[in-house]
Structure 1
């Protein structure tokens, strides 16, 4: 009798896990990709969005974050594609916790075989560091004081102790290449300044748990 009950428990759990896996694969994975597309589509022509449109975008982003949190709690982030999708959306978050979670999920996607998400790891880490008032390490984050087209972009302060070879490994660009990227953003304006004036804390090794 005890063996029979045990078999019911074991096979019951197995069936439940398989059923959950099917639901995740057929429904949640598809939903994650839909959320990613919606988030990216909403940012097309971002430079010209009005304040009202930006406010609506922020509300929609928050809905997406809450939905992905629920999908994660269901145990439905299983593949590299799932983790990459969740990471992509969380980089549009509003807090340091969102950005750090984006990094963790991008890292998981890499561990599951999608090495293209190394760049998303870098972007998320830099957003995390800027959000806690630290210097970025990959030089991926530029800032524009206001939104008129004739204003200049500046590069947020960069931690110089971070190895340039790691920038190249994760971002695909070293620091000089990122400076060239910044100049490209400002190509139609006279913008002699490279780095932003805002002072930020140093980001020595040990600043980013699990990475640097």
Structure 2
């Protein structure tokens, strides 16, 4: 596990230009791909729309910072889980648009800054998020797919020592699916999420960002 350090709350928020460029480039790429695929789908037979349920409980979570910072307090991810529903809309025979809503709960152990005169105990803190993903799914080799897109996060944690995660993040991953004749599907999906790439918080320039890597398992049904 990797230790990361807390923010300086007295510094005015300032995000690196490179991170903003990556974010807006991702939006542009997704919009262009959506427009192109939608145009192609008008001339092809589209597969069915799908709605599904998924859960994630196996994986790791950590906290990183938008900029390098020298400090002492650290956070260690202890556990997390995520549940949600997703809606998949076909754009053409191999490309789909996926959205939905998810609830995630993260448990972190915080180690305060070392002090030669005071021995501060470690303690546990939680972060709860509502997430709305918007992403593209590209199918290949019949049973496999890759996906990438944006997250809109709403931090509903209340008061804790971790920066408000409300804002925009990103998600990417690969998956495997099996479609049954009756219209149902099973899928397994390793993924990586980064939260709070762009945030509405104004607490400081060293924004804490939750990163998670996990395996999503779920079912879906055609309609």
Q: TM-score range by the shorter chain?
A: under 0.3
Higher helix share: 1
Higher Rg: 1
TM-score (structure 1 length as normaliser): 0.23
Higher strand share: 2
Which is bigger in relative contact order (C-alpha 8 A, separation at least 6)?
Answer: 2
TM-score (structure 2 length as normaliser): 0.22
